[in-house]
Chains A and B, each alone.
Chain A
């Protein structure tokens, strides 16, 4: 301390401001980045430890029944899986609903609530990029959630040396079904969540929309069945998301309907089901586009 150190030995350089001359990758890159950030966020990756808990638990809950089924099938040398691929999502619909209710609001309400949206729109990306990235990420997250147990079932069925062609066909049908489900549920979840900047309202709205519609439809179907008006059962199924998916896969994907008396829609009604699903997906996209026209900056 007493003797001054020579200046040459210790010196802090202020490198000052540096320009950026590197590449600017533009809109498509920004959209991809937003997609992957949102998809990772849907499983809590890149977020706090606390926000990883719920999605990871739900993911585990989704997969555990598949593991149990596989274990039983392998141990008892079953000839066929005790559970259809297409039936899995119907059985676990409560878990899917919970996942959607928890993750859709975190994906869109946060940006609305903290007014981060204008920061996106003051950059090269546009409204359509934002909506596509968020919708795509939500649907992809749901697909991972619903397709992973199917993959476990498929691998298990092959380990148990079940018929390869049979299992592959069932697995493919199951994948198409959960892909449709992911698009439909993702759209509905995001629309409801984007209506309010309050996360809690978003969660409640998604849960309410899924359970109330399903409760009402299955009650009415049960009444229709017990009053001998079986014709009405498939038409009633048009009014809730999960029964829509049930109807489509019964009509086109070789699934057994979970409607009362297995009175699923035939091919003709199936077309109506499919059109309604596609209309809801397109409608969700349109509503999201409209919503962000208002909040952009």
Chain B
């Protein structure tokens, strides 16, 4: 779908992309990076709107430097910022955008009705966009990117500004864009966590450099590190130690003790979850010991963690990660 070869983009003051080589296949691919990591620059180059300083890039097998219009006919783009005029209805707006993509008038109207239904806009599509909620606006933005049935859509921060429920709905919709519609997706975000659940493949860039490119199964190995915190009780004055002993006896792999550096860090146990059973085991063990379970959560990790060469290193030195 997308291939880049030592792609660089330099502005007078900053280097937005630095010799980036990628090969992205069909499916849902996440492009993760902090603000200013070069995600938007990357999208502009892929759409053939901004020439690369060095290197080359191909989208759908077409060179971005020479086949910009052909690429833009078969690719959809959803910008990060607001882009909807408030005084027209979603239907009118999307029909117009469909025609701008080259669809004949009748096809534009049919595809608009279909696409708006697929993104979950029904009767409200005849009302002016100005009265829509943020979630509905995001759906219209997605619909205009899909209306011409592209082979690939580039979604720039589609979950921006949404509440947790809206976020989940949007992520589910993005997943469906590939599974049900057969359209490959490149979605950017600065949150690795939400992309893990949605994407088949995650590419992490920082400062224009490629940090990591791997399938999400690699990342989920990382997230199966569980952090558990328990209270002390009269029978077990040191609840953490008692739980550690009990879990070790039950055969759970425990990671090194979390060192000082954060308040309460000494009370957190890090252990490897091999599946659903581990959660049940921890719950039962804590209950048997008569301790209070303060928290049990998947360790969240920051983009910086991906600097580490592999999941093993991150797992064996969790304290270092913690203090970053």
Contacts and interface: CB of A to CB of B under 8 A. Distances in A.
B180 A22 contact: no
Contacts of B70: 124
A115 B148 contact: no
Interface centre among B88, B100, B128 (most CB of A within 10 A): B100
A18 B44 CA distance: 28
A124 B101 contact: yes
A123 B49 contact: no
Contacts of A20: 103, 107, 111, 148-149
A26 B96 CA distance: 14
Contacts of A34: 100
Contacts of B55: none
B182 interface: yes
A46 B99 CA distance: 15
A145 B84 CA distance: 30
Interface residues of B, number: 40
Contact of A124 (B73, B76, B96, B107): B73
A25 B82 contact: no
Interface residues of A, number: 36
Nearest to B47: A122
A276 to B, nearest CB: 35
A23 B104 contact: yes
A164 interface: no
Nearest to B129: A114
A24 B79 contact: no
A108 B234 CA distance: 74
Contacts of B148: 20, 24
A83 interface: no
B88 A116 contact: no
B85 A116 contact: yes
A116 B97 CA distance: 10
B218 interface: no
B241 interface: no
A123 B72 contact: yes
Interface in B68-109: 69-70, 72-73, 75-77, 79, 81-88, 92, 96-97, 99-104, 107
B82 A115 contact: yes
Nearest to A36: B99
Contact of B49 (A17, A22, A116, A297): A297
A296 B85 contact: no
Interface in A83-118: 110-111, 114-116, 118
Given A116-B83, A124-B72, A25 B180 contact: no
Contacts of B118: 17
A140 to B, nearest CB: 18
Interface in B105-144: 107, 111, 114, 118, 128, 144
Given A119-B144, A297-B49, A25 B103 contact: yes
9 shortest interchain CB distances as A-B pairs:
A20-B149, A122-B77, A24-B102, A33-B99, A17-B181, A25-B102, A114-B85, A124-B69, A124-B73
28 contacts: A16-B180, A17-B181, A19-B149, A20-B148, A20-B149, A25-B102, A26-B69, A26-B102, A27-B102, A34-B100, A48-B128, A51-B87, A115-B81, A115-B83, A116-B84, A116-B85, A118-B77, A119-B79, A119-B83, A119-B144, A122-B49, A122-B72, A122-B75, A123-B102, A124-B70, A124-B72, A124-B102, A297-B50
